[in-house]
Amino acid sequence: MNWAFSAFAAGLTSETAFDVLAVARRLRAAGKEVIELQIGDSPFPTPPHALAAAHAALDAGHTRYAPSLGLPEFRAAIAQTLNREFALDLTADHIAVGAGAKIFQTFFCEAFLEPGDAVLVFEPAFPTYLPNILRRGAIPVLAPLRPERHFRPDPDDLARFLRQHSRPKAVFLNSPHNPTGSILLLDDLRAFADLLRGTPVLLFSDEPYCHMVWEGKHHTPLSLPELRERTVAAYTFSKSYSMSGWRCGFAVAPPPVIQVFGKLLNTSLSCVPPFVQKAAQAALELDEPTRNEQMNQFRAKVNLLVTELSRLEGVRVRRPAGTFYVFPDLRLWCQRFGLTSHGLAMFLLEAADERRGVACLGGECFGPSGLGFLRLSCAESDERLVEAVHFIGQTLTAACSSGPQAERLTRWRQQHPQFHWPR
């Protein structure tokens, strides 16, 4: 049968990290040693109280449907935790529970966007923002994040967006930021609030890394009264509590928005499994010491990776203010090799060495402003992080010589014209 897919489905793009993950796992299954720094997963186990609560919930028979918005006691626990950590004034009515944070991108777009609406996205950006905006026929408007601003959004770009588009509807923010590791300052949010005053423009604030802040503190738009009523914020247990496979997250928004999200949850996911919610609630209430220790270990991993990368010739690297990613600038090497940064990333994984490889992502996987950068995750042991950087450094140096690695690079470039550096 000839399946006639919709134009949206036929053109749908996906998160490259999972594509590279599949390649890395295939190579490992074939016997290649691969250091996996491509995906934003935690190397740490799920905290003990969360695990115990899940076992107890299963034993108690919490294996049936739950309310679509989430268990009332779990929603209340989320509100109490955010009130304590970020000085907010939330109740359970402000909370919707979903399968991670990503699903709330979809729900935000379904709830608010109409075809032709304009949505401002600062890029490099998380790869699923654009597909979710395009799903609704809305128009993504890209604004570059610039290294000279430490990759923080520029209020001038928001002012231009509001001035130039007849139907501005929403802005996507992400802090701490994936992939660059930047964080929004309170002054940035105040500038946004001044520009948005009197407009109908909404904010989607993506905050999965809210506990991974290494410089200053985390600032959410929810903390500013002038932004709170126009903000939907999304959080997850994947990063802070090493629960990526549990698929549990939540959104914070005004109660009327949460009620609409309840309908969207009901008609799509039905609910998050109740034993998963019980585990996540135990993580919130009992596993904070474990979480904080793991965050300290992530900070040390980030510092280690930055230190090692800073030793490589021709590589510029800035210490991220948050997240467990490092975003080094390899434009010098990419231009020398005639490869995009993702071309270089795939060469490091597949072709630089027959027995070993490093999996990471090129910055352009997150948008054109990422071209020439690599995103490296810290989701490996310290020893493996050091090994990965040494492998990258050795590859860069050897590929400039007249030896076998240079020949491999030449063949790779010839065989993959899609990765040629733009002229």
Peptide bond into 176 cis (omega under 30): yes
Q: What is the pLDDT of residues 143-194, one digit of tens each?
A: 999 999 999 999 999 999 999 999 999 999 999 999 999 999 999 999 999 9
> pTM higher than 0.85 for the full model?
yes
d(CA 52, CA 49): 5
CATH topology of domain 10-39+290-399: Aspartate Aminotransferase, domain 1 (3.90.1150)
Cβ neighbours of 18 (radius 10 Å): 11
Beta bridge partner(s), residue 204: 172, 232
d(CA 166, CA 169): 9
d(CA 28, CA 32): 5
Q: Which residue has the tokens 């949505």?
A: 119
Look up the CATH architecture of domain 48-286. Answer: 3-Layer(aba) Sandwich (3.40)
Contact predicate 246/236, CB 8 Å? no
Domain map of the chain by residue range? 10-39+290-399, 48-286
Please give the biggest Cα pair distance in the chain.
Answer: 66
Q: 106 pLDDT exceeds 80?
A: yes
Q: What is the pLDDT of residues 225-259, one digit of tens each?
A: 999 999 999 999 999 999 999 999 999 999 999 99
Q: Which residue has the tokens 């040629």?
A: 420
- Retrieve residue 360's tokens: 């990471």
Instruction: Calculate the average pLDDT of the chain.
Output: 95
As a whole-number percent, the residues of the chain with pLDDT over 70 amount to 100
Contact predicate 120/1, CB 8 Å? no
Q: 13 pLDDT exceeds 80?
A: no
Q: Which residue has the tokens 């948050």?
A: 322
Going by the DSSP 8-state scheme, the letter that residue 142 receives in this structure is: E
Taking the chain, what is the end-to-end CA distance rounded to the nearest angstrom?
Answer: 42
